[in-house]
């Protein structure tokens, strides 16, 4: 006999500030093109193609970047697709294979036109997805983007190493260790650079290193991690018992072993509120440099808000997660397991 449990999810959207731009108006045309590409691309088998369809990646790109033009949205959608392919590939790879895929991925972005000419197929595929984005990264931001993208790639390999270590020692991951790796593997740092590039925000390096600016960026990453793990838990639990999910970590972390799943969800909601408070506090504390830099900092904060609000809106509706079984469940934020 199957036991059904209903869990109450927090209303994360109710806690968010207003987005600056809504969903990108070019979503429909880019989505149609992306679907055609997925259906025609010989690199995917039926299951991979279905998984990418369910991910609805153009919507994620359009929610993250509501103000870019259609060509930029196409390029960003390609980038989102590349990150999801690497993440999914390394999810089940051995640590040796994960390191190999991460190296191929970073090499593809470093020189996509060369990578298209070579095998293996994974290298060619990522190179083809990386090619368009190069034209939409202003030269002043290219090295920062490649650095952030490389950190993301190697962090997905680090997750494979951590999975292997947990299997070998039966050790439980702590919340602190989880966030340390996840802040890089969630792939948000490259998007943060893309915000500055697509909006031509030439914020001086020393200003970017101000505690309030760095604090906004770090809070943005934590907000996306927490929300994503809440909404993806049901899918991950069905696939492989969700070993690398914040809720699982909270159920096993020594400071919180008393929590049941509803308690872990509630605790994650409180972590979310703390991260949002940090973001707002840092935004209020932004330095005043001069009129133009101050304007760019305000726009930068708006762009970061687009990331975490857009990630929530995508997570709630994307078929990949299927958080809610019915519209009634959606309205009441009931997750049924």
Write the pLDDT tens digit of every residue in 21-53. 689 999 999 999 999 999 999 999 999 999 999
Query: How do residues 247-275 score in pLDDT, each as one tens digit?
Result: 999 998 877 667 899 999 999 999 999 99
Give burial (CB, 10 Å; 0-12/13-18/19+) of 65: buried
Distance of CA 84 to the CA centre of its chain: 9
Whether residue 244 is predicted with pLDDT greater than 50 in this model: the reply is: yes
The per-residue pLDDT for 134 is 84
Better-scored residue on pLDDT, 22 or 133: 133
Q: What is the pTM of this model?
A: 0.93
User: If pLDDT is split at 50, 70 and 90, which confidence band does 167 have?
Assistant: low
Whether residue 70 is predicted with pLDDT greater than 80 in this model: the reply is: yes
DSSP letter (8 states) at residue 15: G
Report which of 64, 189, 80, 96 is spatially closest to residue 88, judged by C-alpha positions: 80
Choice among 50-64, 110-124, 131-145, 285-299 with the minimum mean pLDDT: 110-124
The per-residue pLDDT for 158 is 87
Burial 230-243 (b: 16+ CB within 10 A, else e): bbbbbbbbeeeebb
- The CB-side HSE value for 138 (13 A sphere, CA atoms) comes to 12
User: If pLDDT is split at 50, 70 and 90, which confidence band does 119 have?
Assistant: confident
The winner for highest mean pLDDT among 15-19, 181-185, 192-196 is 192-196
């Amino acid at each position: 006999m199957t036991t059904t449990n209903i869990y109450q999810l927090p209303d994360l959207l109710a806690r968010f500030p207003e987005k600056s731009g809504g969903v990108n108006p070019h979503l429909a045309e880019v989505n149609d093109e992306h679907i055609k590409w997925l259906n025609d691309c010989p690199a995917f088998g039926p299951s991979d193609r279905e998984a990418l369809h369910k991910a609805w990646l153009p919507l994620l790109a359009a929610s993250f970047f509501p103000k870019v033009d259609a060509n930029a949205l196409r390029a960003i959608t390609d980038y989102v697709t590349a990150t999801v392919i690497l993440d999914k590939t390394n999810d089940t790879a051995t640590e040796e294979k994960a390191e190999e895929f991460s190296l191929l991925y970073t090499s593809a972005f470093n020189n996509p036109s060369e990578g298209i000419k070579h095998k293996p197929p994974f290298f060619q595929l990522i190179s083809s997805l990386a090619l368009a984005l190069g034209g939409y990264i202003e030269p002043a931001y290219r090295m920062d983007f490649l650095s952030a993208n490389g950190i993301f790639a190697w962090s997905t390999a680090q997750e494979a190493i951590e999975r292997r270590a947990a299997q070998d020692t039966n050790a439980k991951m702590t919340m602190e260790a989880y966030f340390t790796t996840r802040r890089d593997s969630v792939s948000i740092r490259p998007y943060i650079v893309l915000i500055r590039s697509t909006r031509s925000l030439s914020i001086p390096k020393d200003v970017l290193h101000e505690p309030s600016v760095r604090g906004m960026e770090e809070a943005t990453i934590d907000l996306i991690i927490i929300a994503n793990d809440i909404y993806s838990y049901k899918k991950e639990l069905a696939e492989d018992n969700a070993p690398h999910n914040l809720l699982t970590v909270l159920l096993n972390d020594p400071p919180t072993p008393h929590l049941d799943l509803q308690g872990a969800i509630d605790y994650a909601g409180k972590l979310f509120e703390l991260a949002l408070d940090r973001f707002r506090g840092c935004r209020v504390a932004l330095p005043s440099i001069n009129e133009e830099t101050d304007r760019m900092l305000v726009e930068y904060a708006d762009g970061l808000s687009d990331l975490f609000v857009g990630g929530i809106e995508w997570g709630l509706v994307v078929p990949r997660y299927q958080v809610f079984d019915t519209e009634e469940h959606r309205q009441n934020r009931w997750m049924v397991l």
